[in-house]
Amino acid sequence: MFADRTRWNLAPNRLSEALAKHRAAGKPIIDLTASNPTECGFEYDREAILKALCNPAALVYEPNPKGLGVARQAVASYYAGHGAQVSAEDMVLTTSTSEAYSFVFRTLCNPGDEILVPTPSYPLFSFLAEIQDVKLVSYPLIYDHGWQIDFHSLEQAITPRTRGTIVVHPNNPTGNFCKPGEMARLNEVCAAREMALIADEVFLDFSLAGERQASFAANTAALTFTMNGLSKICGLPQMKAAWLVVSGPKPIKKEALARLEVIADTYLSMNAPVQLAIPTFLEMRHRFQKQLMARVRGNLAELDRQLARQQSCTRLEVEGGWYTVLRVPAMRSDEDLAVDLLVRRDVYVHPGHFYDFPSNGYLVVSLITGELEFKDGMGRVLSNLWP
Ligand SMILES: Cc1ncc(COP(=O)(O)O)c(C=O)c1O
């Protein structure tokens, strides 16, 4: 009865099984995978958020495939703050960056066409691609005094069916930004082969160095789709608002926008109250980002203090984002280690293979976990690394 594309192996893995059992038994859990900002103890201006959702203009239905002008203008101002000139006409609002991915895949790919994707990276990509009948082909990031794109492998991975490449800026979970030299090389590769650049910038504003990082949103050398949304930059994933900016050589950009507009018009998935609140939500992001970066920096400093007291574990360099990668003894699989940490020490971490790390010996932890929990949890992890 069902389509091949939905023939997933839905059996829980050993870690999710152990987690369900742990929870069912009512045991405590220190969650070092926390990624939901609304549950991490940050202060939000509750009244202002709720008031922004009560705009009387929401009583009128104004179907606009690209999204309401007032919201798109606010997004354009966000990019102006990043030094990128973006027109409100060159974007489409979506309910999430995940939806933005599906619009882009639909615009670019016939069934079976290929999109390049960095490894290690965010595990949802494989589902987003499969649902759209797109084949993901990995290109590796290599770690050598920080992470960088392995361009030789990226170019080797290109076939006549490759329609574009994803770049996550900064990447989840490795936390590396795409450097100016890498941006230039990606442009060369894509422009020469009529491939699109798909830039996921959901963590763009979270740079540990504190400096503003360049966005792909005004990139013109190749057709570029840049995505971001309220989920991360405002810490409001529940508002379901994101966007897709199109840039590139003029004729191809125009064609891409016209096609995207038809897809967006077919769904008209944005709701009015949230669109009208986007300008207010974006204004509020600074307060959220300040708290979040203080948390990330505090946890990273605590981690470094604990790492300095032992020799079994190190952390990889991180430039931005909400996560860090631990290099741990590869005496057993990452999954065995994660299950053991949960069962014996009540700590939940992600094994590296969730993110397609090429070998065992990696754990991923969130840096937005509350400070006390993080300190306690990391202490337990570091004292439990050997079998
Ligand atoms: C790299 C990356 N892209 C996209 C998303 C999803 O964002 P959204 O909530 O807008 O779909 C996430 C969420 O964690 C992410 O890590």
From first to last of the 387 residues of the chain, give the pLDDT tens digit. Answer: 999 999 998 999 999 999 999 999 999 999 999 999 999 999 999 999 999 999 999 999 999 999 999 999 999 999 999 999 999 999 999 999 999 999 999 999 999 999 999 999 998 999 999 999 999 999 999 999 899 999 999 999 999 999 999 999 999 999 999 999 999 999 999 999 999 999 999 999 999 998 889 999 999 999 999 999 999 999 999 999 999 999 999 999 999 999 999 999 999 999 999 999 999 999 999 999 999 999 999 999 999 999 999 999 999 999 999 999 999 999 999 999 999 999 999 999 999 999 999 999 999 999 999 999 999 999 999 999 987
Element (H, E) at 127: helix 124-131
At residue 297, the pLDDT reads 98
Residue type, 170: P
Q: In this structure, are residues 198 and 260 in contact, taking their beta carbons and an 8 Å threshold?
A: no
CA separation for the pair 165, 115 (Å, rounded): 5
Find out whether the beta carbon of 34 lies less than 6 Å from any atom of ligand 1. Answer: no
CA separation for the pair 224, 178 (Å, rounded): 15
At residue 265, the pLDDT reads 98
CA separation for the pair 66, 303 (Å, rounded): 44
How many angstroms separate the alpha carbon of residue 202 from the centre of ligand 1? Answer: 6
Q: In this structure, are residues 197 and 219 in contact, taking their beta carbons and an 8 Å threshold?
A: yes
Question: Which residue out of 202, 236, 238 has the highest number of ligand 1 atoms within 8 Å of its CB and is therefore the one to mutate?
Answer: 202
CA separation for the pair 252, 246 (Å, rounded): 10
Find out whether the beta carbon of 242 lies less than 6 Å from any atom of ligand 1. Answer: yes
Contacts of 92 (CB under 8 A, 6+ apart): 65, 66, 67, 100, 103, 243, 244, 246, 257, 260, 261, 264
How many angstroms separate the alpha carbon of residue 81 from the centre of ligand 1? Answer: 22
Residue 93 has φ and ψ, to the nearest 5°, of: -85, 145
Question: Which residue out of 99, 119, 122, 233 has the highest number of ligand 1 atoms within 8 Å of its CB and is therefore the one to mutate?
Answer: 122
Find out whether the beta carbon of 231 lies less than 6 Å from any atom of ligand 1. Answer: yes
At residue 21, the pLDDT reads 97
Predicted model pTM:
0.97
Separation of CA 227 from chain center: 10
Residues linked to residue 226 through DSSP beta bridges, in sequence order? 199, 245
Q: In this structure, are residues 182 and 139 in contact, taking their beta carbons and an 8 Å threshold?
A: no
How many angstroms separate the alpha carbon of residue 90 from the centre of ligand 1? Answer: 21
Burial class (CB in 10 A: 0-12, 13-18, 19+), 143: middle
Q: How far is CA 283 from CA 71, 89, 230, 279, 288, in A?
A: 12, 21, 11, 6, 10
